Amino acid sequence: MRDNPISMQVTFLGTNGWYDTVTGTTCSVLVQSEEYDIIFDAGNGIAKADRYITQQKPVFLFISHLHIDHIAGLHTLVKFRFNKGLCLCTQKGSVTDLMAFVREPYTIPFSDLPYKVEIIELAEGRHMMPFAVECLTLVHPVPCFGYRLEIDRKVITYCTDTGVCDNAIVLGRDADLLITDCGLKPGDVSPGWPHLNPENAIHIARQAHAKRLALMHFGAEVYGTLGERRELQQRYEKEWPDLIVATDDLAITL
């Protein structure tokens, strides 16, 4: 373990919920640690990963759930040349459905990609990947994992898509960066298809004592312009100073 904290880059490759629009592409977040490139979700934003990574480090891809906006970019994996291979992690019981999507005639199967791919099913709990990852189920119409990544003495939590739940708070505890869903506009609720509004996200971040909060997964039909996203920063300045309202290709250093 090093004495000096290593700086880490987090790049929001895709920040839209459900489909691509002029505001951006669907969900994907890149975390560049010293030894690994780690990606949360494979929405269409994942196709931009090679703008940022050298492809010389092992790549880990954590899938939250199988809604299309989180896996639609998997067909672009064929363009990459991950020299140290790809380890794809998805929740226990989801591999059969994932394989049904990533196969002929829709796209090229994992086994035919031009690099080594390992697929791992994760149960709820804590795992050594070799870095520590904790995954817990969130509140969503289909099984969905939130992830807590502990690496290079930093904690990054990724919780989308979800309603307010204890597991999001548990995963976000003392996180250096908590990334949440912001599918809804201020004050809006959607009990039948849980997502967060900005107040919900701030509530979770406060309960978790997260250091920084980033909002993404802005519903494509809800936030029609980037201006509507930016308004959130001003509106919640008092409740959460330095709120990060993510847009595609925004990069932050931890």
Binding site for Zn ion (CB under 5 A): 17, 67, 69, 161
Q: How far is the CB of 44 from Zn ion (least distance, A)?
A: 12
Say which residues have a Cβ less than 8 Å from residue 136's Cβ, sequence separation at least 6: 124, 145, 146, 167, 170, 171
- Pairwise CA distance, residues 43 & 28, whole Å: 6
Q: How far is the CB of 27 from Zn ion (least distance, A)?
A: 6
> Structure tokens of 70?
């989180």
For 112, the 3-state DSSP assignment is helix
Q: How far is the CB of 111 from Zn ion (least distance, A)?
A: 27
Question: What are the φ and ψ backbone dihedral angles of 80, each rounded to 5 degrees?
Answer: -85, 160
Shorter beta-carbon distance to Zn ion: residue 26 or 33? 26
- Pairwise CA distance, residues 119 & 127, whole Å: 15
Q: How far is the CB of 201 from Zn ion (least distance, A)?
A: 15
Shorter beta-carbon distance to Zn ion: residue 9 or 94? 94
Q: How far is the CB of 90 from Zn ion (least distance, A)?
A: 14
Shorter beta-carbon distance to Zn ion: residue 11 or 160? 160
Q: How far is the CB of 21 from Zn ion (least distance, A)?
A: 14
Shorter beta-carbon distance to Zn ion: residue 11 or 64? 64
What separation in angstroms does the CA of 50 have from each of 9, 45, 76, 219, 227?
Answer: 14, 11, 11, 25, 28
Shorter beta-carbon distance to Zn ion: residue 11 or 28? 28
Shorter beta-carbon distance to Zn ion: residue 33 or 162? 162
- Pairwise CA distance, residues 159 & 140, whole Å: 11
> Structure tokens of 130?
């070799």
Give the angle 109-110-114 at the CA atoms, nearest 5°. 105
Question: Which position's Cβ is nearest Zn ion?
Answer: 67
